[in-house]
């Protein structure tokens, strides 16, 4: 399945296209499509006034594009909260089905869902849910692999990718877990963690996709 226009809007939003130019290469990488497909879709989106497109420089969202992207991201993250809280979904299942639901969720349903869930600030994977006007509450974070050994921190966000989510959930990692690196094997080898008093080992690759509180003074 090729990504549709809404996936492009979300990708540009996540790559910072609210206030800076995002280049085509990054969009192609994110969506895993050929550069030619990106150029074609951006042409369409420009004609529909969803983006400003400067050839050879990049793209950013117009007001219209920004509102559309925000409502998609809100829909996605609110559905994830709903699916996990009320239907017993796993971390990866919630993300998978939210990908589908976000495309068919009218604004009225998003706002009722928000109200029903009592205005959650984060999705179950720790990503901030933007307010309807696009404001987000940003907390400074760093990836776990950069946390110095022996320093206590907390898991705040994880990258939303199916295999990673299943792997982390199997290891008992949840948002808010207290975490401390006990040891780090040489040459990007596995990390030994103290996770809520339990000893857990995870790969270096996974540690690069786990975000923890920013270490003070860094
Ligand atoms: Zn999520």
CA–centroid distance, residue 56 to ligand 1 (Å): 32
CA–centroid distance, residue 125 to ligand 1 (Å): 5
CA–centroid distance, residue 55 to ligand 1 (Å): 32
CA–centroid distance, residue 124 to ligand 1 (Å): 5
Sheet of 191-195, strands arranged across: 141-143, 210-213, 152-158, 178-184, 191-195, 198-202
Question: Which CATH number applies to 5-61?
Answer: 1.10.10.10
Tokens of 19: 């206030």
CA–centroid distance, residue 79 to ligand 1 (Å): 9
Name the band, by pLDDT with cuts 50, 70 and 90, for residue 1: low
The pLDDT tens digits for 20-41 are 999 999 999 999 999 999 999 9
- Which CATH architecture does the domain made up of 141-213 adopt? Roll (2.30)
pLDDT for 2: 67
Domain spans in the chain, listed from the N-terminal domain onward: 5-61, 141-213
pLDDT for 56: 86
Does residue 70 contact residue 132 with C-beta atoms inside 8 Å?
yes
């Amino acid at each position: 399945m090729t990504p549709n226009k809404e996936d492009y809007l979300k990708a540009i939003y996540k790559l910072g296209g609210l206030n800076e130019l995002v280049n085509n290469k990054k969009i192609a990488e994110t969506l895993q499509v050929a550069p030619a497909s990106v150029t074609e879709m951006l042409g369409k989106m420009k004609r529909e006034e969803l983006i400003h497109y400067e050839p050879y420089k990049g793209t950013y969202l117009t007001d219209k594009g920004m509102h559309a992207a925000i409502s998609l991201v809100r829909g996605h993250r609110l559905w994830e909260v709903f699916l996990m809280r009320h239907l017993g979904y796993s971390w990866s299942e919630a993300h998978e089905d939210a990908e589908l639901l976000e495309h068919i969720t009218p604004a009225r349903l998003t706002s009722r869902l928000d109200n029903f869930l009592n205005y959650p600030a984060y999705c179950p994977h720790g990503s901030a849910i933007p307010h309807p006007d696009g404001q987000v509450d940003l907390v400074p974070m760093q990836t776990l692999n950069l946390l110095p050994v022996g320093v206590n921190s907390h898991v705040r966000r994880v990258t939303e990718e199916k295999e990673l989510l299943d792997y982390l959930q199997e290891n008992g990692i949840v948002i808010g877990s207290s975490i401390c690196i006990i040891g780090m094997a040489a040459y990007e080898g596995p990390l030994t963690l103290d996770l809520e008093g339990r000893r857990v080992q995870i790969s270096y690759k996974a540690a690069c996709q786990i975000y923890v509180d920013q270490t003070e003074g860094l």
